Structure 1
Amino acid sequence: MNKIGLHASVWVGDWSADSARTAVESTAKAGYDLIEIPALDPSSIDTKLTRQLLADNGLDAGFSLGLRWDADISSTDPEVVKRGRDLLAGALTTTVEVGAGYLGGVLFSTLGKYPAPLDPRGRENVVRSLASLAADAADAGVTIGLEVVNRYESNVLNTAEQAVALIEDIGADNVVVHLDTYHMNIEEQDFATPVERTGAKLGYVHIGESHRGYLGTGTINFPQLFSALKRADYQGPITFESFSSAVVNPDLSNNLAVWRNLWSDSTDLATHAHKFIVDGLAAAS
């Protein structure tokens, strides 16, 4: 059975004590199994409180982040790469301290538009850095997910095929492909082929609409995706991700260009998405 997850940005824009409590309790009340917590600044997360809140509400957790321009492992500048590796190490420590089993997202580059293609030397830095992170994560029982995003958010991974190739070069069993329907809608030919091409390496799926609002109101072919996941016997998490100017994290909202108010009722959005995903999986053939 797939665990159904929800991105914390549906509820809150930070991870203060009050925000953490709101997000965890609201996610559990809406019927989800897992909450995905942004770890843009891992040091700001109260891991003891978060772990207790998750236990009290019977939720699993995963963490996600994107790197910064001054801390980017795809850079050719050794100092920038080092800061990127330090940021990833901090995120892994937070993941372990909370008791979560997944760390994913744009772990391989800055979350932003690059002015040129990836330098081969930068790709080598990505491979070395992620191989080191994967080794540390394996010792802690954590899976590393590489999220395939569109060309305006990274120049490293834009397609499922690229992700599979990078993971093969990294050579670690605990590194998986993280697909996202919002990005697939921009970069892939359809919603079934990427699932087929990733095969057993697929380990995490983001469900998001083409405009990041209510599921079923955009252009994503969800029946095609759900059917592909069923044929592939995909057993991993399926997490709903949506952003609106109604909930603002200054860094994440600006990086993702969340300029419009696509929804204002977080509870209605979350409960609608949960039913949409569960019903879609059940109807898949």
Structure 2
Amino acid sequence: MNKLGVHAAVFAGGWSPSDCDSTVRRARACGFDVVEIPVFEPDTLSPAATRQALERHGMEATCSVGLPFDADLASDDGAVSAAGERYLLAALDFAAAVGSTYLGGVIYGAFGKHSGPPTAAGRDNAAGALRRVARRALDHGITLGLETVNRYESNLLNTAAQTRAFIAEIGAANIAVHLDTYHMNIEEDDLARAVADSAGVLGYVHIGESHRGALGTGTVDFAAVFGALREIGYDGVMTFESFSSRVVSPGLSSTLAVWRDTWDDPDATAASARRFIASALAGGGA
């Protein structure tokens, strides 16, 4: 049975100890099993407070990262790529400290709009760094997920096929494909085929609507996605990801280009999403 998760940014724009406790408590109240913690600036976060909140409310955690441009793992500048590797290792340490077995997201390069395509040297830098980080992750029992995102948020991995090819190039058994229906809706020719072709290497799924708002109110063909997930027997975590300017921090709002309130009530939106995903998983329609 799939565990259902919710991204922390549905409830809070930061991760202070009070944000942490409130988010975990509210996620549990909405019926979720897992909260996804964005590990931005990992050295500023409190793993102890996070772990205590998770234990207090009986929740599990996954972790995600979007690398900044000054820590672009896929830069052809070796010093910038090395900064990205250090950033990932710090995020990995945080994930291990809070008991997460998953660290995913845009961990292969800078998260944001690029001015040109990736270089061969940058791609090689990212692959080499991820091999090394994957070895450290294996020591902690952590899987790394490469999230396939749209062309405005990465110039390297925009389709599931590109991500699978890059993972094969890296050659680490604990690196998986991370799919996101919001991004798939922009870039994939066939949502169901992208899922089907990722069988065996799919490690994490974000369930997000075409406009980043409430599930079922946009254009994503969820029936096709959930049908394909059932067909391949995907049993991993499925996490609701949605952003509204009412909650998201100004910095992340700018990075994500979230300029409006896609919803007003985080708790009602999250609870509705949990029901939506559970129904779709049961084959009751989406």
- TM-score (structure 2 length as normaliser): 0.98
Partner amino acid for 2:138? A
Give the CA deviation at 1:190: 2.2
Aligned to 1:145: 145
Residues 18-97 of structure 1: matches in 2 within 5 Å? 18-97=18-97
Write the distance in 2 (CA, Å) between the matches of 1:202 and 1:248: 28
Aligned runs of 1:208-219 on 2, under 5 Å?
208-219=208-219
Unaligned runs of 5+ in 2: none
Counterpart in the other structure of 1:131: 131
SS at match of 1:199: coil
Q: Secondary structure at the match of 1:158?
A: coil
Q: Any idea what the Cα deviations from partners look like across 1:92-113, whole Å, max 9, x if unmatched? A: 0000111111100000111111
1:1-285 alignment, distance < 5 Å = 1-283=1-283
Tell me, in whole angstroms, the C-alpha distance in 1 between the residues paired with 2:157 and 2:210.
19
2-side partners of 1:157 and 1:124: how far apart?
14
| Residue type of the alignment partner of 2:46 | D
Q: What is the SS of the residue equivalent to 1:283?
A: coil
Instruction: Provide the secondary structure at the position in 1 that maps to 2:203.
Output: strand
Q: Which runs of 4+ in 1 moved over 3 A?
A: none
CA distance, structure 1, for counterparts of residue 2 and residue 221 of structure 2: 19
Measured after TM superposition, the shift of residue 197 of structure 1 is 1.1
8 Å Cα contact 1:143/1:176 also seen in 2: yes
Please state how far the C-alpha of 1:284 moved relative to its aligned partner: 5.9
Q: 1:192 and 1:125 mapped to 2: Cα distance?
A: 32
Distance 1:110 1:250 in 2: 18
Letter matched to residue 195 of structure 2: V
Q: Structure 1 residue 174: deviation in Å?
A: 0.7
Does the CA contact (< 8 Å) of 1:226 and 1:284 recur in 2? Answer: no
Deviations 1:204-236 (A, max 9, x none): 000000001110010001111111000000011
Q: Distance in 1 between matches of 2:95 and 2:249?
A: 20
Is contact 1:223–1:284 with CA below 8 Å preserved after alignment? Answer: no
Corresponding residue pairs, total: 285
What secondary structure does 1:126 align onto? helix
Q: Is the CA contact 1:208–1:215 (under 8 Å) kept in the aligned structure 2?
A: yes
Q: Secondary structure at the match of 2:70?
A: coil
Q: Give, in whole Å, the separation in 2 of the partners of 1:127 and 1:62.
A: 23
Alpha-carbon deviations, 1:95-152, whole Å to 9, x = none? 0111111100000111111111110111001100101110100011001000000000
Any unmatched runs of 5+ in structure 1?
none
SS in 2 for 1:205: strand
Give the 3-state SS of the residue equivalent to 1:192 in structure 2: helix
SS state at 2:28 partner: helix
Q: Distance in 2 between matches of 1:52 and 1:17?
A: 10
The CA RMSD over aligned residues, in Å, is: 0.9
- Check 1:284–1:159 CA distance in 2 against 1; reply closer, same or farther (3 A cut): farther
What amino acid maps onto 1:191 in structure 2?
Answer: L
Q: Is the 8 A contact 1:244 1:258 kept in 2?
A: yes
Distance 2:189 2:209 in 1: 16
Q: Are the counterparts in 2 of residues 34 and 61 from structure 1 also a CA contact under 8 Å? A: yes
Identical pairs, percent: 49
What is the DSSP-based 3-state SS (H/G/I as helix, E as strand, rest coil) of the residue aligned with 2:128? helix
1:41-70 Cα shifts (integer Å, max 9, x gaps): 111211011111111111110111111111
User: 2:126 & 2:253 partners in 1: Cα distance?
Assistant: 25
